Amino acid sequence: MIRHIRFNLNNPKRELLDINQTIKQIYPYAYDKAMNIVDKLSIALGEKIQSNEIGYISLHIEELIIANK
């Protein structure tokens, strides 16, 4: 996941697919947690993280939730 974020930070002009709305509707809890993570990562890295990363991080969080049930 960190590699993915770093790639996007280094390639800001890359065309992005905005899937956040769909992910937010399907996984609202994971999406909320991902927003918190993105805020903290932005501060820690000193760079704004692209909004589409919230969706990708949400999917990783949801995967962890399902795996730990």
Tens digits of per-residue pLDDT, 23-46? 999 999 999 999 999 999 999 999
Whether the full predicted model's pTM is greater than 0.75, yes or no, is: no
DSSP 27-47: -HHHHHHHHHHHHHHHHHHTS
Residue 63 neighbours by CB under 8 Å, 6+ apart: none
Tens digits of per-residue pLDDT, 45-58? 999 988 888 999 99
